[in-house]
Amino acid sequence: MSILKVARMGHPVLRTKARTLDKSELKNPVIQQFIDSMIDTMYEYSGVGLAAPQVHEGLRVFVAMLDPDGRGEGDAVTFINPEILPIGDATVEGWEGCLSIPEVRGRVPRAQHIKVSALDRHGKRFELELKDFPARVVQHETDHLDGVLFLDRMKSFESLTYLEEYSRYHTRQGDEDEADE
């Protein structure tokens, strides 16, 4: 496959709501190749998630690594036309980064426990119940499909930091559960 160019903050594609894919479109080899290229691109940039708008395609598709430790281990999961339902009222604030906003981190509140329903790359519907880091990744990537960046979700910009300062001042405090999404 190929490595795709990642859109950076300021590009209009990141602020546009992506269109829903029809199940029949998933049979198109171009769409399947695009999904493979998204996975390759996510791995290339050491991300744990990547949404189609981040690679200049306004489609409701993202790929993500869902291991609880956020180490990017295991297989990438493809989500098409995802729908999220929070389970309970608990929210947690955690560090997030984004391949479209390189070298920047911030603390973002997210639902701690969610149920996500989506189509896989072959058009089969699936549901996952996720908590903590995997739930954060899915919420972050779904936001991209709606034209929302993690900065929009921050309660304040006091925690906003460059990666170098994050590594220097914040990872020692047990805040290392983050990754580029």
Pairwise CA distance, residues 106 & 16, whole Å: 22
Q: What is the DSSP string of 65-77?
A: ---TT-S--S--E
Whether 132 and 114 have beta carbons less than 8 Å apart is answered as no
Residue 178 lies in a domain: no
Q: Please give the pLDDT value at position 71.
A: 67
Note if 141 is an active site residue.
Answer: yes
The CATH number of the domain holding residue 95 is: 3.90.45.10
Please say whether the dihedral angle defined by the alpha carbons of residues 94, 42, 160 and 56, taken in this order, is positive or negative.
negative
Structural domain boundaries enclosing 167: 12-173
| pLDDT tens per residue, range 32-59 | 999 999 999 999 999 999 999 999 999 9
Pairwise CA distance, residues 2 & 4, whole Å: 6
Residue 161 lies in a domain: yes
Mean pLDDT of 101-106: 96
Of the listed 96, 141, 178, 181, which one is catalytic? 141
Residue 7 lies in a domain: no
Q: Please give the pLDDT value at position 79.
A: 98
Residue 110 lies in a domain: yes
Domain count, the chain: 1
pTM: 0.92
Q: Name the helix (H) or strand (E) containing 139.
A: helix 132-145
